[in-house]
Structure 1
Amino acid sequence: MTAVIEVSNLTKRYRDAVAVDDVSFRVEKDTITGLLGRNGAGKTTVMSILTAQNIATAGSVRIFGEEPYENARVLSRMCFVRESQKYPDDAQPRHAFGSARLFFPNWDQNLAERLIDEFQLPTTRAIKKLSRGQLSAVGIIIGLASRAEITFFDEPYLGLDAVARQIFYDRLREDYTDHPRTVILSSHLIDEVANLLEKVVVLDRGRIVMDEETDAVRDRAVTLVGDVGAVDAFCADREVLHREGLGRVASVTVAGPLSQADRRALTASRVEIVPVSLQELVVRTTRHAAQTRGERIEEGALR
């Protein structure tokens, strides 16, 4: 496959803080990639550098094989939907859509109008007076209707209720199927977007802790539940990502796939094998990485 995004040894420092730390990854053409991680992991900073809205301290970025900064050929082929998007004080959604229609050559007005109706968005109200969810809907509509070759969605659904979020997921899936393009989706609602993703890149404290195809990730870890002696004996030589216990029952999440022999041995020991969801795996992996570095973990960072 052809890589449309190539990131090599990317680093971004702010005085004494390192927001992105020597990050390298590739994104293939016409795929949906999840850029996942805790709040403050560096996701927005990476997206801002890729879209030339921020400058790297070190490393290189190539979009369509070119440096994106001050490069109109590249920037005109991308759309960045960000949570903190700013608009003029007197701007209305219809103004934002009109500008987008002029800027993006693949703009689909029929899709935009359909989404306006589905999100029940008032197009003649000042954007500064919209609710948080309505403001998110403006960004989602631009991101989908633009049909840009590369679209970045940075936590695009903030303030949307469950019904509106599902509309976004459904329309993204439908339009991506009919009009393939490259989508980078940053999210902390990982289980909600898991079925959309073909690849996941997980950041923790500015570093990549996971960069894999989604199908491969699903076999990366399992949780074993059973008698503490049987579970501990099996896990003795394995990497433990998380452990909980109650009396004689242990629940241990271990890294690595299980062989058929492993499964037979666990069944014989009456140890239950429980699949790990993508969100749980990301939570366990980032916590495990932080604990090995001796860092404090904040509850709910990925919830």
Structure 2
Amino acid sequence: MISLRDLTVRYGDTVAVDGLTTDLEPGKIYGLLGRNGSGKTSLLSVLAAYRKAAGGSVTVNGVDPFENAQAMRDTVFVRDAPDVPQADRVGKVLGFFARLRPRWDAAYADHLAGTFGLDRRKRVSALSRGQRSALGVVIGLATRAPLTILDEAYLGMDAVARSVFQRELLADYLAHPRTIILSTHLIQEVADLFEEVLILDRGRLIVQEDTDTFRSRGVAVTGPEDAVETFVSGRTVLARQSLGGVRQATLYGSLDDDEQRRAGSAGLTLEPVGIQDLFVHLTSAERTPEAVR
């Protein structure tokens, strides 16, 4: 169980995480979304005990993870470039983690290394960007830490390798359940893995919902301009687009059966909005965090 209470992270005068309060239940895959500078990596760094919070509290299984040896052993934090010595060979790096991590699965690490085409004899400095990302993914998955944090860990991979990563992550999670936090900009590719979605915007948590509920909150209403505007009056409109006399309005908020029937009677078309599109609308520069609460 992860519990955050009024968590604040600062860099000088800059507030990266602003009074965040939430709980994350164990044994789920969480999607942590946010634009650049939203505070995602700062938050994850506190969870992984890489950084001490400036204010508030964080507990993982009831203890503050900072400088707590047991909590750190039970957490793995992999970023877009793995934090390993560049001069070491891949085999040495994997051997180091095998000695350091009590739940390390050497056979699974070998399987992943072969799947991603990692040469154990190569030095980390000689790996391509995609291979370095693959090394980070091997570390993140084979560690099998109760709290596994992947912060854009697979960003350097090509499309095929990313697809393999998604398949491996889901299969291993089902076989060995644990808490996994995925922070990503490639939302559309991995959204089906998320069980719960969290969105940070300018250091504040603006959305935390199970994925199906969050998906249901987005609806695109299309039809004659006047009919659309009448229907969406009083609702949270995330965006509008017009072409000739036709307008499309993106709403935030689910519609009940009666509202859907009323839309059909007015000649309006209703379509679902994907998680990525919802995210883009909710975090647009002109929208304030309070506007979607």
- TM-score range with shorter-chain normalisation? over 0.9
Partner of 2:85: 88
What is the one-letter code of the residue matched to 2:149? F
Q: How many angstroms apart in 1 are the aligned matches of 2:172 and 2:213?
A: 25
Matched, 1:185 2:182: yes
Query: Among residues 25, 50, 75, which one is paired with 1:53 in the alignment?
Result: 50
Q: Could you report, residue by residue, the CA deviation over 1:69-128 in whole angstroms, capped at 9, with x for unpaired residues?
A: 110011111111112433224211111111111111111111111111110112211101
* Offset, 1:52: 1.0
Partner of 2:214: 217
Matched, 1:169 2:138: no
Matched, 1:291 2:286: yes
* SS, match of residue 59 in structure 1: strand
Partner of 1:300: none
Partner of 2:14: 17
What is the one-letter code of the residue matched to 2:197? V
Q: How many angstroms apart in 2 are the aligned matches of 1:118 and 1:84?
A: 19
What is the one-letter code of the residue matched to 1:211? Q
Q: Could you report, residue by residue, the CA deviation over 1:112-158 in whole angstroms, capped at 9, with x for unpaired residues?
A: 11111110112211101211110000110011111111100000112
Partner of 2:134: 137
Partner of 2:275: 278
Q: TM-score, normalising length from structure 2?
A: 0.96
The 5 A counterparts of 1:57-76 are 57-76=54-73
* Offset, 1:292: 3.8
Partner of 1:243: 240
Which aligned runs of 4 or more in structure 1 are off by greater than 6 angstroms?
Answer: none
Q: How many angstroms apart in 2 are the aligned matches of 1:131 and 1:102?
A: 26
Q: How many angstroms apart in 1 are the aligned matches of 2:163 and 2:250?
A: 30
Q: TM-score, normalising length from structure 1?
A: 0.93
Cα RMSD (Å): 1.2
* SS, match of residue 66 in structure 1: coil
Contact 1:132–1:158 (Cα < 8 Å) also in 2: no
Structure 2 unaligned regions, length at least 5: none
Number of matched pairs: 289
Partner of 2:24: 27
Query: Among residues 199, 202, 206, which one is paired with 2:199 in the alignment?
Result: 202
* SS, match of residue 106 in structure 1: coil
Q: How many angstroms apart in 2 are the aligned matches of 1:89 and 1:234?
A: 59
* SS, match of residue 291 in structure 1: coil
The 5 A counterparts of 1:78-117 are 78-117=75-114
Q: How many angstroms apart in 2 are the aligned matches of 1:191 and 1:89?
A: 32
What is the one-letter code of the residue matched to 2:264? T
Identity %: 43
